[in-house]
Structure formats: structure tokens, C-alpha cells
Chain A
């Protein structure tokens, strides 16, 4: 078990920065998920930690040892990290047991001890008795478990996952999620888990690092990420947040402030120390929206009604900002039709902190 810290890490390919000035501290035994759109540099970040890529600048420490900085890099085989790849990367010319026992053989462990460890690892991932099979004769879920067992058998101090469930179907994914979670609880290993599936990240992780174009957009607990996004990218990326232009009318007081949005005034949550300003943005979720035929609110037109079983997702364009789209769910019986006039109310929201517009 070990702490992992990245300190202003940058990785450039030619003149393209795949990872840019990222600083993350992962505590001993923590489960960190890295989340972000495709191409944002997640895999590169992982490969930097594993030592397959060299940092352009910055420093990476595992435990108390510096493993990478611009001066040099500890070879991957000396880092004691385990890694599970999206495409499993099982060696086709070895049986399941040989795959799992590889690192023990490399470490020249006593044969009997190694055999016992392989048996234990197989049991840990519920694959008893499959040791003599070839990887080609396994299902996707079984292969992923072999890959997991292979990385666990060497008792690594840090385990890295690169979208381990991306190739599995929905049901298998749910059950593997449970297994990962149970495994983490049982062993207390430090884990860095890459995914582009928000639900997976939220379900598993202690904290989530959201990446965007190689930068770290926010590092926070799932709850904080959802309720208090630090910038517009995170706000719109997590759970399809709705961003609305706002003028801040009063300074922060007790975690709230007054804003004007689409011509109506309302009180939203905010970070301490926010001051009145124009051109701010608030983030609200579909659950924060309410149809209010005659109360306070703003008018607009229903653009689209998408029935989803048990209710509908409604896309709404406010009259005060016809280019904006707000969406919310309405349970059956759905009364709104596309083209209809409606009046909406925003129940609550979050003021995106100043100075972080992306």
C-alpha cells in the first residue's frame, strides 16, 4: 500500500500536451477514479504512473520514492504497480495459471509457494479450476478477472485500472463493479481507476479527478463534484448539468447569494467569498427545475418531448434566452407538447466560482 502523488506533471508528445500541469495526491488506501471525455489524457496519465511514459516535467512519487521526474525514471518493473488493461492483455501462449504466475516466476519464487499463490489468486476472483485453460477459451468477464488476479498476485503497492469494464456488457459490469469494490474494501490497496462512465466512477471512488484537455478540471468527492462543480466544464460534464448566464446581485452570506437568471431573481448556493458581478454562470440539474404555471418564474417554449417510459424528458427554450436549452423530466401523465408555452421555476442552483471559466 502506498501513497501516490503527482506534482505538476506534464507530458508532451512532440508539441502536443497530452497531460498538462496535473497535481494529484492519492492517499494510502484511497480509491481514486479519473474521469473525462475521450482523448483528455487519462490513459497517458496512467502510463506515466506505471512508468511506460516519461514525464516531460513535474514529479511522480510512489510512497516516499520519487519514481519519475525530468531527470529520469524508475523502470516499470521496479515500481511494484499492478495494471489492468481495457483489452485484458492476457498472453495467448500461456494458460490462465501461467499468466497469473508470471510475475512470481520472474521473481524466481519457490515453485510450490508460487503454485499456492496462484491458487489463492484464482480463488480470490472466483475462477477456481480454470487454471489450465487458455485465455482464448474464456468469456470477457473471466478474462478481466484473470487480468485482475494476475496483477494482484504480486501484491502491488498500487493498482491501476484503465477502463477495465469498457468491453463488458451492462449486467457483467454491475457485478464486476461490486467485485472491485469488495476487493478494495478487503485489501485496502491504493487504486487509480480510469473510466469514462460517471455512474461507475461515482459508485466506486472515494474521490474523482475530472480531466479535460490534459488538465485536471476538478478533484473532489462524488458528492461535491455533483453539487459544487468548480467550473463550467465539470458542471456540464457531470450528469448533464445545465449552465445559465447569471448576474450576481449580493455577496455570499451563509453559503448563499442572490442572482438574476433569465429575468428572475433567485437564491443559489455558492462558495464562500463570492462578490457581486455580472456575466457569471449558474449550474442547475434537471431536478432543480419545476413547472409553475402561475407562480414566479420565466416563460418559454417546449422544443421537444422525448418519452422515456414512465415520464418524458422535456427540452425547453426560455423566451429570455431562446438559444439556451433547459431539460427536465416530467413523470406520467405528461401534459406538455412540443411547441407549447410553459412557465418554469428554478428551485435551486450553484454559482460557478469566479475566475474558473474554462
Chain B
């Protein structure tokens, strides 16, 4: 009897221990290393690093810029995302599914691709504007190389994020709360302003915090739009320092990355405070309210929505495709000049681009595969585990993703600058350090859907297998994994799409031989070869589209909300 108890306890302990090791390695270790670098550079506690960082005027300027574009981008994202969510959720406009798909799309496109696409649309070399002969003369400054350009694109990029959260909140709004107000004599607009929006405060605040963290940590957009105008935010300042100074300036950048982390956390704290000022808890559940009938305004609103989508999605992508077909900078696109040479060049001729495709694909596949394999047991412990402390796990897995990517990248550098103790293995300057950062950063993208998958499964299914005599590992393999597999795999596919054209982390971690698609795209653009960058972007966007279609096949087996673009 006692051996059998020990046996079954043993499997559970082994699982818990394995999960704990993974979490410590991927989440706690890098964060602790980073903190140590700040408070105790070189091993002894001192405030040298902090003082040095604070003394530099560049720090202050970049912090100011970060706050400006962070707050501006957040405001734009919150306004547009909330407006679209209200129109889509509360009115009777038609074609909701298609609207949601198209509006959420920018979220699936890497920020630097968004930046590139918009740049190609408005620049003096714009093949699109040249189609109408409306391009500004060569040599004119692209209007997007500016603070407002950065804010605009951050708003476009993260509006969908706000939309998704607010829409989820609106779906849970019980119709009685709206109807009681209408019976009290309030018209639709009054209900919206006095009841609906105030009740959505927690969703809107949470969305604003998320958008703020994303804007503050974004690298792609300020890198493409800000660096040419010498407008530096903290992530791009870190990038420039590292690119110029190498490992020697690592301590300095560590301070800057913690500064980003602190700004991001301040945003999250502000949200907490704002949503606690009043009671917003909705206690009842019911059907959602009947959609408001727009009547003759419906056609107008619909046209407005599609115009918005054409502006933020189709036009930029169209501009990107046009640029990728032009043989060189500033040449107008005609049937004669159109060429596929750019594609041939990046796919077959340019060595670094070749390597980048290879690296990014296998890095993304490895990160996705690893995350799926790890998400199942971690999700098991978090969703069904009996120990309370396990819930802390969830928090520590969220951390590397919640914090801006730059923070994790710097932490990884610090962690692996020197060979790993005892083994002597060197990860610095290899592709493996990128893999490590990807694993740490993206695990949560697979974990979240997996946990919601667990919450939908009747635990009795596993217990039946237990009664039938199956041990924990057997159960995980034969019962649990097949049940949560669709959710976990959908999470894996999300990771693949995100990692494929990732730039923030790899921009700081790459070395010759370990380039990623994002890095090569960035260097093409910096070198003025927008056509090659555009060709690479078009390829990754196409791959993302195809993967979205493939992932859609899983949709019937997924908890709702796992695939952001499905309504």
C-alpha cells in the first residue's frame, strides 16, 4: 500500500519539479539577473549604475519621448478600439465577421512590417502615390518620420488589442442593465455614455494598460520611423548603444531596460487604481442587449468602417506589395518595370536573408513546439492543481511577456554573456540565445489558451482514467493531451506567427550567422533597400495569412476567444 502511495505521489512530484525548473530557468532567473545588475553591478550593492543612468541627458530625452509616444499611441488605440468595439457589438451593422477579421489583422502583422508598409505608402518614392503622380518630389522628408507618425502607427497597431478586450467586456454586459435605463427614459446615446461606457471602465482600463505596455516596449515602429529622424525612445536608445558599444555598455542598457519595465509597470498600476475607484462588478449574467438599429445611418457607418479598414489594412499592404515589385528606389511602377527580382534576391541570392529565413522558421517552430509541450503540464498544474502556490506560476510565466521585449533581451544577454558555469557552454553570439529568449517570452501565448481549454473540460474524464488505473503521466499522454491539444496547438500557431517576424528581441541578440527575418528586414531598410525589405515582409505576411487559414480549421475544437481574429 505505502509503495503505491509513494509511486503516485512520485509522479506528481516529478511533474511539479520539472515545471518549477522550467519556470525558474525561463522566467525568474533572467529577471533576477537583471535586477542584480542594477542594484549590485559587479557583485557589491551600489547605486553607481542608477546614478550613471540618471545623469545622462540621453536617458531623459528618450524617457520623455517614450512617454509621449506611449501615451499618445495608447490614447489613439483606446479611442479607435473602443469606438469600433461599440459599433460592432452594440449596433446592427452587417458583415461583423469580416469586419472583425480585417480590423484585428494588424495585430497579426509585425510592427516593423506595419511601419514599412506605411512608409512605402507616403514616402517620396511611394509607388502607390506615383500611380497617380501624387508623390512628393524625391528628397522630401516622409511625413511619417515624426512623433505624430509614430503615435499614429502605434494607434493602428494596438487599436485591435483594445478592441478585443472591450468587445469581450461588452459581450458580458447583461441586457437588463441597458433596458432598465431605456425604460427610465434614456435614449441610446445617453445609455451609452451613462451606463455602458462607465460599466466598461475595467475593460477599457485593462486594455489601455496593455496598449501602453505594448507602445512603450515597441521597437519596430520607433526604429523605422524614429531613428531616421533621430527621435529616440528607450528601446531604440538601448539598441543604438548596444550596436555601437557592444557588451561594454551592457550595464548602462540594463538600467535603461529596467526603466522601461518601471514605466510599463506604472501603467499597470495606474490601471489598477482607476478601476478600483468605483464598483464595476456586474453580478448577473444574461443575454447581451438587442443591437441598436442604426436605420438609415447603417449604410453610412458601414461605409465608414470599411473605409477605416481600407486605410489601416489594405492600402498599406497594397503599398508594400507595390514596393516589393519595383526594381529600385524611386522608380515608378508600370507593367514594364514590375519585377519579381526582389523576391528572387532575398530568397535565393542574399546570404544573410537566406540564413534569416532558415533561422526564423526553425526558431519559430522550436519555440512553438516547446511551448505546446510545456503548456500542457503547466496548464494542468495551474488549472487543476490543488496547491495554492501553483497559481503564482501563472504570474511568473506572464512576466516575460507582460514586460517589454527589450527587458527580456537585456536580461538574456546578461545571463549568457559569459559561458554557463560548470558546463562552459557559450550561448552569447549564437542563435541559441535567441531561442532561449523566444521560449521565455512566448510560452504564455500557448499557456493562456491551454488553460481556458482546461476550464472547458470536465475533470471527470481524467478522473475516470484515474479510476481505471492510469498513472499521472499515462493520463497526461492518453487523456489530457488529446483533449487540450487543439487549444495548445492553436497557441503554438500563434507563437509561430508572432516569432516568425519578431524584431525587438532578436535586434539585440543577433550576431553574424544568427540573423532573423526581422533583423535582415531592418538592415535592408536602414541601408535604403526598401524593396528587399518589402519583399521579405510580403513573404512573411503571406505565410501568416496561410497559417491563419490553417488555424481556422481548428476553430470548432477551440474555446471561444483563442483565435483573436474570429468573432
Nearest-Cβ distance from residue A184 to partner chain B, whole angstroms:
19
Q: How big is the B interface, by class?
A: 20 to 34
Query: For residue B10, which residues in chain A have a CB less than 8 angstroms away from its CB?
Result: none
Select A102's contact among B175, B181, B284, beta carbons within 8 Å.
Answer: B181
Q: Which 4 A-B pairs give the minimum distances between C-beta atoms?
A: A103-B184, A89-B176, A87-B284, A76-B182
Most buried by B among A88, A106, A154: A106
Shortest Cβ distance from B177 into A: residue:
A89
Shortest Cβ distance from B277 into A: residue:
A93
Given contacts A53-B290, A106-B190, A136-B281, contact A91 B184 (CB under 8 A): no
Contact B177 A91 (CB under 8 A): yes
* Contact code string B333-356 (vs A, CB < 8 Å = 1, else 0): 000000000000000000000000
* Contact code string B271-301 (vs A, CB < 8 Å = 1, else 0): 0000000111111101000100000000000
Contact A87 B176 (CB under 8 A): yes
Shortest Cβ distance from A53 into B: residue:
B290
Please choose the segment from A77-85, A260-268, A332-340, A341-349 that sits at the chain B interface, where 4 or more of its residues have CB less than 8 A away.
A77-85
Contact B280 A92 (CB under 8 A): yes
Nearest-Cβ distance from residue A103 to partner chain B, whole angstroms:
3
Decide if B559 is an interface residue (CB 8 Å cutoff): no
Query: For residue A106, which residues in chain B have a CB less than 8 angstroms away from its CB?
Result: 181, 184-186, 190, 194
Per the 8 Å Cβ criterion, residues 42-100 of B in contact with A are: none
Per the 8 Å Cβ criterion, residues 226-285 of B in contact with A are: 278-284
Select A87's contact among B279, B281, B286, beta carbons within 8 Å.
Answer: B286
Given contacts A92-B279, A92-B281, A92-B282, contact A85 B187 (CB under 8 A): no
Contact B176 A76 (CB under 8 A): no
Nearest-Cβ distance from residue A37 to partner chain B, whole angstroms:
20
CA distance A135 to B177 in the complex (A): 13
Contact A91 B183 (CB under 8 A): no
Given contacts A136-B279, A136-B281, contact A89 B179 (CB under 8 A): yes
Select B187's contact among A75, A103, A151, beta carbons within 8 Å.
Answer: A75
* Contact code string A39-81 (vs B, CB < 8 Å = 1, else 0): 0000000010011110000000000000000000001111111
Given contacts A91-B195, A93-B201, A150-B184, contact A85 B280 (CB under 8 A): no
Most buried by B among A52, A53, A82, A89: A89
Query: For residue A53, which residues in chain B have a CB less than 8 angstroms away from its CB?
Result: 290
Decide if B174 is an interface residue (CB 8 Å cutoff): yes
CA distance A102 to B176 in the complex (A): 15
Most buried by B among A51, A77, A150, A156: A77
- 23 pairs, CB–CB < 8 Å, chain A vs chain B: A47-B179, A50-B179, A52-B175, A52-B182, A78-B185, A83-B183, A85-B179, A87-B283, A89-B176, A89-B284, A91-B180, A92-B199, A92-B282, A93-B199, A102-B181, A102-B184, A103-B185, A106-B181, A106-B186, A106-B190, A135-B279, A154-B184, A154-B185
Query: For residue B286, which residues in chain A have a CB less than 8 angstroms away from its CB?
Result: 87
CA distance A156 to B201 in the complex (A): 31
Query: For residue B283, which residues in chain A have a CB less than 8 angstroms away from its CB?
Result: 87, 92, 136
Contact B185 A89 (CB under 8 A): no
Query: For residue B280, which residues in chain A have a CB less than 8 angstroms away from its CB?
Result: 92-93
CA distance A268 to B254 in the complex (A): 96
Decide if B198 is an interface residue (CB 8 Å cutoff): yes
Nearest-Cβ distance from residue B11 to partner chain A, whole angstroms:
44
Shortest Cβ distance from A78 into B: residue:
B185
CA distance A93 to B204 in the complex (A): 15
CA distance A225 to B184 in the complex (A): 35
CA distance A135 to B180 in the complex (A): 15
Most buried by A among B179, B185, B278: B185
Select B180's contact among A51, A89, A93, beta carbons within 8 Å.
Answer: A89
* Contact code string A243-272 (vs B, CB < 8 Å = 1, else 0): 000000000000000000000000000000
Contact A107 B279 (CB under 8 A): no
Query: For residue A141, which residues in chain B have a CB less than 8 angstroms away from its CB?
Result: none
Interface residues of A (CB under 8 A from B): 47, 50-53, 75-83, 85, 87-89, 91-93, 102-103, 106-107, 134-136, 147, 150-151, 154, 156
CA distance A102 to B184 in the complex (A): 7
Interface residues of B (CB under 8 A from A): 174-177, 179-187, 190, 194-195, 198-199, 201, 278-284, 286, 290
Select B185's contact among A51, A107, A134, A136, beta carbons within 8 Å.
Answer: A107
CA distance A87 to B290 in the complex (A): 18
Shortest Cβ distance from A153 into B: residue:
B184
CA distance A48 to B93 in the complex (A): 23
Query: For residue B284, which residues in chain A have a CB less than 8 angstroms away from its CB?
Result: 87-89
Nearest-Cβ distance from residue B174 to partner chain A, whole angstroms:
7
Given contacts A92-B199, A92-B281, A93-B198, contact A77 B185 (CB under 8 A): yes
Query: For residue A156, which residues in chain B have a CB less than 8 angstroms away from its CB?
Result: 183
Nearest-Cβ distance from residue A78 to partner chain B, whole angstroms:
8
Shortest Cβ distance from A82 into B: residue:
B183
Query: For residue A47, which residues in chain B have a CB less than 8 angstroms away from its CB?
Result: 179
Most buried by A among B184, B282, B286: B184
Contact A85 B278 (CB under 8 A): no
Query: For residue A91, which residues in chain B have a CB less than 8 angstroms away from its CB?
Result: 177, 180-181, 195, 199
Contact A52 B278 (CB under 8 A): no
Shortest Cβ distance from A159 into B: residue:
B183
Contact B179 A52 (CB under 8 A): yes
Shortest Cβ distance from B195 into A: residue:
A91
CA distance A85 to B278 in the complex (A): 23
Given contacts A91-B177, A93-B279, contact A103 B186 (CB under 8 A): yes
Nearest-Cβ distance from residue A60 to partner chain B, whole angstroms:
15
Query: For residue A81, which residues in chain B have a CB less than 8 angstroms away from its CB?
Result: 183
CA distance A51 to B181 in the complex (A): 13
Given contacts A92-B283, A136-B279, contact A76 B198 (CB under 8 A): no
Query: For residue B281, which residues in chain A have a CB less than 8 angstroms away from its CB?
Result: 92, 136
Contact B183 A77 (CB under 8 A): yes
Nearest-Cβ distance from residue B185 to partner chain A, whole angstroms:
5
CA distance A154 to B185 in the complex (A): 9
Shortest Cβ distance from A162 into B: residue:
B176
Instruction: With A52-B290, A106-B184 given, name 7 new contacts (CB 8 A).
Output: A53-B290, A87-B283, A89-B180, A91-B195, A92-B278, A106-B186, A136-B281
Nearest-Cβ distance from residue A113 to partner chain B, whole angstroms:
16
Nearest-Cβ distance from residue A2 to partner chain B, whole angstroms:
15
CA distance A102 to B177 in the complex (A): 12
Query: For residue A87, which residues in chain B have a CB less than 8 angstroms away from its CB?
Result: 174, 176, 283-284, 286
Nearest-Cβ distance from residue A321 to partner chain B, whole angstroms:
44
Nearest-Cβ distance from residue A41 to partner chain B, whole angstroms:
15
Shortest Cβ distance from B290 into A: residue:
A52
Nearest-Cβ distance from residue B406 to partner chain A, whole angstroms:
37
CA distance A107 to B186 in the complex (A): 8
CA distance A216 to B81 in the complex (A): 46
CA distance A147 to B179 in the complex (A): 13
Query: For residue B290, which residues in chain A have a CB less than 8 angstroms away from its CB?
Result: 52-53
Query: For residue A136, which residues in chain B have a CB less than 8 angstroms away from its CB?
Result: 279, 281, 283
Query: For residue B182, which residues in chain A have a CB less than 8 angstroms away from its CB?
Result: 51-52, 75-77
Shortest Cβ distance from A99 into B: residue:
B180
CA distance A77 to B180 in the complex (A): 10
Nearest-Cβ distance from residue B321 to partner chain A, whole angstroms:
43
Query: For residue A93, which residues in chain B have a CB less than 8 angstroms away from its CB?
Result: 198-199, 201, 278-280
Query: For residue B278, which residues in chain A have a CB less than 8 angstroms away from its CB?
Result: 92-93
CA distance A204 to B282 in the complex (A): 31
Shortest Cβ distance from A100 into B: residue:
B184
Shortest Cβ distance from A137 into B: residue:
B279
Shortest Cβ distance from B180 into A: residue:
A89
CA distance A79 to B187 in the complex (A): 12
Nearest-Cβ distance from residue A163 to partner chain B, whole angstroms:
12
Shortest Cβ distance from B175 into A: residue:
A52
CA distance A79 to B280 in the complex (A): 29
Nearest-Cβ distance from residue B379 to partner chain A, whole angstroms:
32
Contact A83 B180 (CB under 8 A): yes
CA distance A51 to B178 in the complex (A): 13
Query: For residue A77, which residues in chain B have a CB less than 8 angstroms away from its CB?
Result: 182-187
CA distance A76 to B286 in the complex (A): 19
